[in-house]
Chains A and B, each alone.
Chain A
Amino acid sequence: MRRNLRERIPGGCAIIGVMSETGRRFDGTTVIEGIRCMHERSNGLGGGFAAYGIYPDDLKPYYALHVMSQTHHEHETMEEGIRQHFRIIHQEPIPTRRHPRVGEAPILWRYFVAAPTDFAEPPGEEEYMVGRIMDLNGRVEGSLIFSSGRDMGIFKGVGYPEDIGEFFRLDEYRAYLWTSHGRFPTNTPGWWGGAHPFGLLNWSVVHNGEISSYDANRRYLEMFGYRCYMKTDTEVVLYLFDLLNRRHGLPIELTCSVLTAPFWNEIDAMPPADAELWRALRQVYAGALLNGPFSVIVGFEGGMVGLADRIMLRPLVGARAGDLVFIASEEAAIRAVCPSPETVWAAEGGEPIVARLARSAGGSEPASAHKVEVPAAS
């Protein structure tokens, strides 16, 4: 391992999320310009994007496995594994363009796959997918499935995020939800797989800060079959959302409240019924409590949520403009693409900012009631 991988550099990452709650899809230049505004928060050792609603209708039903591999041999080993566990409907290289500021890239490929059989009985298809993906990622050296959702994709690498976005030709995709991350790695190496977002099924997470409770969370998650192999604290956030929301059925808001649970002295001051509920939740989910300075944006099917730690040790700003919801590390990043939002507010520690597709969503009709100055949204 290169020596500089062990250096600790104090710094802050950049995160941003942009979503149309009516499901209006817009190309990647909006989020690229937003993250570009926060260039100083990154150091060129990682940038990435998650995009929801990007794939054509005939491929929407299938899991899009985005894979990066260091060598052809490792690429083929991973493909063999994918073929063994799933039905491959379609496969292709992930389109990229040469970029002067993006160095040598791994082999980047995507497979649209279906589960081999119908899973009518529990634990079900998604459980199967998670199990096989965890297994392949743990088993195949030098290759990584870094995105596995349906009708969504993660695009990431080593470089500044605005350059990585251009490298992956994100101006050619249209999504109703984009998140992005500019990395300033402090405790772990800057490598292609270590860039954010991290993804599992339709979840994606971008993260600024650190999860000081990582080991407690990791041990807790391992009891449920999750494996932490990414050399980063961020992945526990991803698996905790998957566990609490998808597997245990807690709503997104309650999931956030469990992860950033009230302090005991706050619980003591609650009405008795609330206090009893929170004592139970803190006891049951003690291993899921996230400690340390962090702000995250988690993307999921049909929505996104921004969440900062309980005592607000990392910044998070929200804004609304017409059908658009913005969440970012800095207000300037929002104003760079939307100069006059209707409301701008600073997040409170432990209080999630949630954006969701309206029930009737899915259309590509632009919202005519609000004229929002978002250059790339037409």
Chain B
Amino acid sequence: MPVEAPRKRQAAANEITIDAEGLHYRDLNELIHQAAAQGARVIDVRNVNGQRYIGAGLRLPVTIRLHGTAGNDLGVFMDGPTIELFGNAQDGAANTMNSGRIIIHGDAGQICGLSMRGGRVYVRGSVGYRSGIHMKGYQDKVPVVVIGGHAGSFLGEYMAGGRIYVLGLDAPAACPLGGGKEPVWRVPERCRSLTGRYTGTGMHGGAIYVRGQVDPALCGREAVISPATDDDLPVIRRDMEDYARCFGLDAGYILSVPFTRLAPKSHRPYGKNYAY
């Protein structure tokens, strides 16, 4: 597909700017894949609004900076790149992602991190329902989702591996949403706790770490709730220091509150429900 001149502007030798205004997701993703294939290291995408599947299946070592609202399935099947989003993500961010990073300066919608197999998703704001549903891990593949604000119900449902954090940090006074836009933070209508109902339902691997207390009445039967132990701390510290660096936060402040851990009671919680 020929690339229109005004759509794609080359700033530095390996940095490229794309204007996504009015572009269909197929065309936008084609431009991104082309730029990455031609050796771009940084791809800056302006005026993103609802385009789906950004970065889908990309395996090249590229950084994609997005300004606007990213559409559903941001970074789906992605294997290596870094996406930094100045704005909110819609549903299904990091769907079945294999490796790489997604840094979201706003909020993310439903099922953020679903079926993730590796890599990291850092959300500065809050996420919707069913985040981290069916995340899995294997050997050195350990997916990590860090949620700066609060999470909706069914967090980590059927979780099989990896780590999820919920931090309950206050929304910052200002956040760089890009394009000169005012920061917009979703205010939960009923934010009674950092997590919604049925947290960790059906989990059989991995761990959910919540900064502060967890109401057992809001957790699934398959999760064991306990304070994070000394064994957990080095991992938590490393993850939090990395997260804090991405957003210019103070890791010491994040770590000043003890974490609660949700871990699976069993590795086969539904084994008896099925006949063989």
Binding site for B on A (CB under 8 A): 37-38, 40, 269, 311-312, 315, 317, 330-333, 335-336, 339-346, 348-349, 351
Q: B184 to A38, Cβ gap below 8 A?
A: no
A344-B88 contact in complex given A332-B50, A333-B50, A335-B49, C-beta closer than 8 Å: yes
Residues from chain A with Cβ under 8 Å of B88 in the complex: 331, 344
Q: B187 to A315, Cβ gap below 8 A?
A: no
Closest to B177 in A: A340
Residues from chain A with Cβ under 8 Å of B72 in the complex: 330
A344 to chain B minimum Cβ distance, whole angstroms, is: 5
Residues from chain A with Cβ under 8 Å of B199 in the complex: none
Residues from chain B with Cβ under 8 Å of A332 in the complex: 49-50, 69, 71, 90
Q: B110 to A344, Cβ gap below 8 A?
A: no
Q: A339 to B129, Cβ gap below 8 A?
A: no
Bound-complex Cα distance A373 to B258 (A): 45
Binding site for A on B (CB under 8 A): 25, 49-50, 52, 68-69, 71-72, 88, 90-91, 107, 109-110, 128-130, 152-154, 181-182, 184, 186-190, 217
A311-B128 contact in complex given A340-B181, A341-B184, A345-B188, C-beta closer than 8 Å: no
Q: A336 to B184, Cβ gap below 8 A?
A: no
Residues from chain B with Cβ under 8 Å of A346 in the complex: 107, 109-110, 128, 152, 186
Closest to A345 in B: B186
A343-B184 contact in complex given A311-B154, A312-B129, A331-B69, C-beta closer than 8 Å: yes
24 pairs of residues in contact across A and B, judged by CB atoms under 8 Å: A312-B129, A315-B91, A315-B128, A317-B109, A332-B49, A332-B69, A333-B50, A335-B49, A335-B50, A335-B68, A336-B49, A340-B182, A340-B184, A343-B184, A343-B186, A343-B187, A344-B184, A344-B186, A345-B186, A345-B187, A346-B152, A348-B189, A348-B190, A349-B153
Q: B152 to A312, Cβ gap below 8 A?
A: yes
A351-B153 contact in complex given A331-B90, A344-B184, A346-B107, C-beta closer than 8 Å: no
A-B contact count (CB 8 A): 72
Bound-complex Cα distance A306 to B69 (A): 21
The 9 closest A-B pairs by CB, nearest first: A332-B50, A345-B186, A312-B129, A332-B49, A332-B69, A346-B128, A344-B184, A340-B181, A331-B69
Classify the secondary structure of A's interface with B: loop
Bound-complex Cα distance A344 to B107 (A): 10
A349-B217 contact in complex given A312-B152, A330-B50, A344-B186, C-beta closer than 8 Å: no
Closest to B181 in A: A340
Q: B186 to A40, Cβ gap below 8 A?
A: no
> Which of B52, B68, B72 has the largest count of A CB atoms less than 10 A from its CB?
B72
Q: A37 to B50, Cβ gap below 8 A?
A: yes
B108 to chain A minimum Cβ distance, whole angstroms, is: 10
Bound-complex Cα distance A129 to B109 (A): 42
> Which of B50, B72, B88, B152 has the largest count of A CB atoms less than 10 A from its CB?
B50
Residues from chain A with Cβ under 8 Å of B182 in the complex: 340
Closest to B110 in A: A315
Contact of A351 among B71, B187, B190 (CB under 8 A): B190
Bound-complex Cα distance A4 to B186 (A): 42
